[in-house]
Structure 1
Amino acid sequence: MSKYRREEPVTVPKHRHCSVCGTPTELKQEYCSDKCRVSGKKIQRTKMRNIIVITGLVFVFYIAFLLFVPK
């Protein structure tokens, strides 16, 4: 044993971070406030719309390629 006293390591309580702003929150909460919840839902809708639009465009270009490229 050392004659010097060792400090106990500091433990951080279990937590999550807000999906929008990164503020620490409780484990049960995904967002820290209603403002972040509204903003997060808006971001999710935008991402989903972008995925649908890109998938649709890929499908349209694929069909156009099959129809208009000579064999």
Structure 2
Amino acid sequence: MGKAKAPRRLADNEARAVLRTIRVSPQKLNLVAAMIRGKKVATALNDLEFSRKRISGTVKKTLESAIANAENNHDL
């Protein structure tokens, strides 16, 4: 008698990864996020690879985690 499982909030063709407790200001993180928002995955990974921002490595790691979640958990 547990609680019912919450319905999936993302579309069927989307995956999600969350990174918590990173030590960077939201403004600096949003600069990098805006740089890759709306791009194809390969282009976004390439942009993060050659970005000079320190946080870009962390964002790249999170994006790779979302890609792995899509492949393994959601069969995308």
- TM exceeds 0.5? no
Structure number with the bigger relative contact order (C-alpha 8 A, sep ≥ 6) is 2
Superposition TM-score tier, normalisation by shorter sequence: 0.3 to 0.5
User: Which is greater in Rg?
Assistant: 1
Normalized against structure 1, the TM-score is what? 0.34
Question: Which one has the bigger strand percentage?
Answer: 1
Normalized against structure 2, the TM-score is what? 0.32
